[in-house]
Amino acid sequence: MCGIAGLSLHGRAVPDAALLQRLTDALAHRGPDGAGHHVAANVALAHTRLAIIDLAGGDQPLFAGPAALVGNGEVYNYRELRTENQLLCATGSDCEPPLHLFRRDGLAFAERLRGMYALAVHDRATRQVVLARDPFGIKPLYTAELPGGIAFASEPQALIGAGLVAPRLRPEARAELLQMQFTTGAETIFEGIRRVLPGETIAISEGKVLERRRRAALPEGGPVAATEAEALARFEAAFRSSVELHQRSDVPYGMFLSGGTDSAAVLAMMARLNEAPVRAFTAGFDIPGAADERERAATLARAAGARHETVMVGEADVWRHLPEIVAAMDDPAADYAIIPTWFLARRARQAVKVVLSGEGGDELLGGYGRYRAAMRPWWLGGKAPRTRGAFDRLDVLRAAPTGWRDGIAAAEAAVALPGRTRLMAAQALDVADWLPNDLLIKLDRCLMAHGAEGRTPFLDSAVAEAVFRLPDGLKVRKGAGKWLLREWLARNFPAAEPHRPKQGFTVPVGAWIGARGEQLGPLVAAQPGVMEIARPEKVVALFKAAAGKREGFAAWHLLFYALWHRRHVEGVMPEGDTFAYLAAR
């Protein structure tokens, strides 16, 4: 896990050293263990390092012949790539094999990689810069087309902070954020900044894009018949291999543990593969009635012999740190799970440098309730995902958001491939946008804010090949999702009680906001970004009613947006607690 940035300029233009340093400085939190630059002709690469593998010899940029590489993430099968391809590597870095594969295979080099990565290669022989991102979009990468060429970076805030792009908002993306809590597609919320799409490889020369190609995260085709025993064996082999690879590290690692099936499966497999007790961290809340998973997680940890620690997330701590938590989300995702994730990352980093988590289990194995709704025909109550926005019928915004579902609709059409069932299409839709642009942004930014690396063993090509094309009945059965995973746990980790009803993970933001609504409402209503889109008196009324479920959810979105806009559009650095930050002028 690191930060990367760079420039590909037109003609004989030379990258400015001060600009390159500004990009590097803006990404320092992603790589506190070192930094490196490569400048040749009209191309520059920058890297900030979080040392995980080959601590002594893995500094970047890496070089091989006329090519140089900087990378963010981990290529887990680096040892196998070295052996199978007889690569002569000068370091033990996991990012060096991709460099040699690029020299041999050109733009197809990423097809062989198993891991999470955002890579940039400069080939002086062809005068090209090649960018590549992993198929699930676990690691971020952004580009900006400039008058003098193309810039790229691991975070939009680096491109803005370096003065390359002005922080102007796209109204359609803002509508997506307010209604859905995340934004979709290649275009970000900032005009002029694009995401390199998950699985995309881009060739750039002389500051212009020459070619784009895409590696799919999910296999094509419809369900493939399999018995229960065959499906369990297939999942067991792929999941064991994935967790084993995700534990490759030269620094201590642990995991985030909830009371759910996904993290229980990760814990069970880690406990099987490790001689020492697994380090596990769980978040809890200090408010009565909150969905608290501490007791359940503690039971699982005891059954697995894990070394377990609970991180209490208190209301006072939330108000104290919320401005800096939201500031970490430069590509905004108003997911309230950023709050416990940030606090968990802060504590975990004191003990470990790498954290495994359960993201992706629901998407690959069919866990969400919205999938079961999508499986039913409309006359039996079936409905498409995300047809209702957070501000529908609340009469708070100056104008009803329009076009906010256009990106999701485009993705729905793209993932509805021949042979896929309704369930498979709903899963693929989440893998296309919800996963990379909400859950994985949350994990990346919250951990990188503390110099820690997050790893997601469910989001692995071998796991996707093993389970995505299984028949619907092996994913959803008797009204419950993730049936295959539940059966695997029943056989391998019965303490998880996998067939108990699923308890959704919630954060008590509504209760927190409701308790301070009288104070928060006027502060949020007075923010320039909020005044532009909402009527102040309606915002004040919304925060007073935030104890209600719908009102609390909408109030959280507005509070997030107010804090985010203050930092990433107005440019005000977070100082003081939430109330002081919003009140300062």
Residues recognised as catalytic: 2
Q: Considering only CA atoms, which of 153, 166, 146 is closest in space to residue 206?
A: 146
What are the respective helix, strand and coil percentages of the chain, to the nearest 5? 45, 20, 40
CB burial of 245-256 (b: ≥16 within 10 Å; e: otherwise) equals bbbbeeeebbbb
Is 357 labelled as part of a ligand binding site? yes
Q: Does 358 show up as a binding residue in the annotation?
A: yes
Burial per residue of 547-569, b for 16 or more beta-carbon CB atoms within 10 angstroms, e otherwise: eeebbbbbbbbbbbbbbbbbbbb
Instruction: State the Rg of the chain over Cα.
Output: 23
Q: What one-letter code names the amino acid at 343?
A: F
3-state secondary structure of 198: coil
184 three-state secondary structure: coil
Strand partners, 310: 282
- What is the end-to-end Cα distance of the chain in Å, rounded? 36
Q: 411 φ, ψ to 5°?
A: -65, -40
Pairing type for strands 279-285 and 307-313 reads: parallel
179 close to 404: Cβ distance less than 8 angstroms = yes
Strands across the sheet containing 62-64: 62-64, 67-75, 115-123, 128-133, 200-205, 208-214
Cα gap 428→416, rounded to integer Å: 8
Instruction: Answer whether 266's CB lies under 8 Å from 457's CB.
Output: yes
How far is the C-alpha of 371 from the C-alpha of 68, rounded, in Å? 44
- Output the CA angle 219-225-230, nearest 5 degrees: 95
Q: Nearest 10 degrees: CA dihedral of 317, 318, 320, 323? A: 150
User: From CA 484, how far away is CA 493, in angstroms rounded?
Assistant: 13
The answer to whether the CB of 455 falls within 8 A of the CB of 403 is no
State the binding site. Answer: 94, 357-358
Binding residue numbers for L-glutamine: 94
Q: Which amino acids are annotated as binding site for ATP, given as ranges? A: 357-358
